[in-house]
């Protein structure tokens, strides 16, 4: 059995980072699913003056309880580096790529993740890393042309000041991504290299998952897919722009206001649902049930969740795992984040299957008709009727999909391929209206 290890969590509050909680794992090599852990808030944080302190997870209220579990707290998996950032750190730490590396990766890579939580040990690791390189490598911003050309200044910045400074280790998913911050003069910096007072804009830059034409096609159409979602009334944020094979995605976990940067709490549905690790395939019922416990308006967020899944099915976004849905806290209101990672993933060369499905809460069989999904939801009759009415009304939007996709710039062959799945979803939604009209 390995020695116990701790990581110390910090939260962004009152325009600064504060110590807030400690996670202790009994045997890091066992991984999160099999590894016992202890979670506790710092007493100074629990009893701090001023407004009630915010939790590190919406399912872990701030109190003095010492929580001992048979597995790691699920929110930790929102901080585990994945994708290219994981590969980079594994090389730096000289570790094999398995669950035994996850805690070390958190303690080295969770210095600048999405949301408002970070790990103190990871901040120290980053500062040590950055200190080995000349300041001149990081203090000057890049133009958009330098980024798109992937010339020496960009490559040097990303490799020397590193994927660490670009925040890549804090963004999950298989596609190569990095974080950039734009200063007031319009130049771009690796996120974390620019002081908050000089920041004007924050983006995630996504590249194709692989080198195949299908990977580039998925990326080209993601911006168009998001325009479709916005046109159909789903919750979106900002305008995604495609520059060559780089997709610039506005960040919605941060708001620039009055010369400061507000960092909003953001947490995956997987964390809310208590999912530890990356291999579980939960039922959509379980995910939705967990989300309804924390959101401010369960009925509104349930309808939003259902509409998003209608579009996932209609437009064949098969990569619908529980970390591609998240909640955030804005001005005290807890709701689903704007839509993200919405693209024609059926094209992916790896053959990504739909991850989260509607398995009946009792029988376990997959439900494939919205009539049956609504009947199985754990809601009151009045809310069930309202949800049915909302989905039936959404049929009018789904009926416009062909024209909306063309106007949004979805490529013609994708539109043609999607017509049968769109027709199937439209028929189901229209039947909801007919049956209860």
Domain boundary among 191, 206, 221: 206
Tokens read off for 24: 């202790």
Q: Which CATH number is 321's domain given?
A: 1.10.1070.20
Q: Which pLDDT score, from 0 to 100, does residue 263 have?
A: 95
Whether residue 330 lies inside any domain: the answer is yes
Whether residue 40 lies inside any domain: the answer is yes
Other C-beta atoms closer than 10 Å to the C-beta of 191 total: 22
Q: Which pLDDT score, from 0 to 100, does residue 352 have?
A: 84
CA distances from 31 to 1, 81, 99, 307 (A): 12, 14, 5, 35
Domain span at residue 66?
5-206
For 136-140, 205-209, 283-287, which range has the lowest pLDDT when averaged over its residues?
A: 136-140
Whether residue 196 lies inside any domain: the answer is yes
- Is residue 317 predicted with pLDDT exceeding 70? yes
Average pLDDT, stretch 54-62? 97
Positive or negative CA dihedral for 217, 219, 220, 221?
A: positive
Whether residue 129 lies inside any domain: the answer is yes
Q: Which pLDDT score, from 0 to 100, does residue 368 have?
A: 94
pTM (predicted TM-score): 0.92
**Are residue 195 and residue 303 in the same domain, yes or no?**
no
Q: How many domains does the chain have?
A: 2
**Are residue 69 and residue 195 in the same domain, yes or no?**
yes
Average pLDDT, stretch 341-368? 91
**Are residue 59 and residue 195 in the same domain, yes or no?**
yes
For 110-119, 185-194, 426-435, which range has the lowest pLDDT when averaged over its residues?
A: 185-194
Q: Which pLDDT score, from 0 to 100, does residue 179 have?
A: 85
pLDDT tens-digit profile of 257-294?
888 999 999 999 999 999 998 777 889 999 999 999 99
**Are residue 165 and residue 310 in the same domain, yes or no?**
no
* 73, 37 Cβ separation under 8 angstroms: yes
Whether residue 383 lies inside any domain: the answer is yes
- Is residue 84 predicted with pLDDT exceeding 90? no
- Is residue 130 predicted with pLDDT exceeding 90? no
**Are residue 303 and residue 165 in the same domain, yes or no?**
no
* 375, 365 Cβ separation under 8 angstroms: no
Domain boundary among 206, 221, 252: 206
Whether residue 388 lies inside any domain: the answer is yes
Whether residue 81 lies inside any domain: the answer is yes
Rounded CA gap, 185 and 25, in Å? Answer: 45
For 281-285, 406-410, 431-435, which range has the lowest pLDDT when averaged over its residues?
A: 431-435
* 166, 137 Cβ separation under 8 angstroms: no
């Amino acid at each position: 059995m390995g020695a116990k290890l701790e990581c110390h969590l910090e939260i962004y509050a009152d325009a600064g980072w504060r110590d807030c909680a400690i996670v202790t794992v009994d045997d890091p090599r066992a991984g999160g699913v099999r590894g016992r852990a202890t979670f506790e808030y710092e007493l100074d944080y629990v009893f701090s003056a001023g407004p009630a302190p915010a939790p590190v997870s919406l399912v872990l209220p701030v109190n003095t309880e010492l929580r001992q579990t048979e597995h790691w707290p699920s929110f930790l998996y929102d901080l585990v580096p994945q994708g290219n950032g994981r590969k980079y750190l594994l090389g730096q730490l000289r570790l094999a790529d398995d669950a035994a590396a996850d805690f070390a990766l958190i303690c080295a890579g969770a210095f600048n993740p999405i949301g408002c939580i970070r790990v103190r040990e990871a901040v120290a690791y980053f500062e040590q890393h950055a200190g080995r390189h000349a300041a001149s490598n990081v203090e000057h911003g890049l133009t958009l042309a330098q980024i798109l050309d992937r010339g020496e200044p960009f490559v040097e910045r990303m490799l020397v000041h590193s994927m660490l400074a670009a925040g890549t280790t804090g963004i999950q998913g298989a596609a190569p991504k990095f974080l950039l911050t734009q200063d007031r003069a319009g130049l771009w910096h690796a996120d974390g290299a620019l002081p908050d007072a000089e920041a004007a804009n924050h983006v995630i830059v996504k590249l194709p998952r692989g080198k195949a034409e299908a990977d580039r096609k998925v990326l080209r159409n993601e911006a168009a897919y998001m325009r479709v979602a916005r046109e159909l009334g789903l919750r979106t944020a900002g305008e995604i722009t495609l520059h060559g094979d780089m997709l610039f995605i506005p960040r919605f976990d941060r708001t620039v206001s009055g010369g400061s940067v507000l960092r909003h709490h953001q947490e995956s549905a997987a964390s809310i649902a208590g999912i530890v690790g990356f291999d579980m395939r939960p039922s959509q019922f379980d995910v939705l049930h967990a989300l309804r416990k924390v959101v401010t308006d369960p009925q509104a967020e349930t309808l939003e969740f259902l509409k998003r899944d209608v579009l996932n099915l209609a437009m064949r976004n098969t990569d619908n795992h529980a970390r591609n849905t998240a909640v955030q806290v804005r001005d005290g209101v807890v709701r689903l984040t704007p839509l993200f990672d919405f693209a024609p993933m059926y094209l992916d060369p790896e053959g990504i299957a739909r991850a989260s499905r509607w398995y009946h809460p009792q029988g376990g069989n997959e439900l494939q008709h919205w009539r049956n999904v609504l009947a199985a939801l754990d809601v009151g009759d009045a809310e069930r009727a309202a949800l049915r009415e909302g989905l039936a009304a959404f049929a009018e939007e789904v009926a416009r999909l062909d024209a909306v996709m063309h106007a949004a710039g979805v490529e013609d062959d994708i539109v043609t391929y999607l017509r049968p799945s769109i027709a199937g979803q439209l028929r189901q939604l229209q039947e909801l209206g007919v049956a209860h009209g």
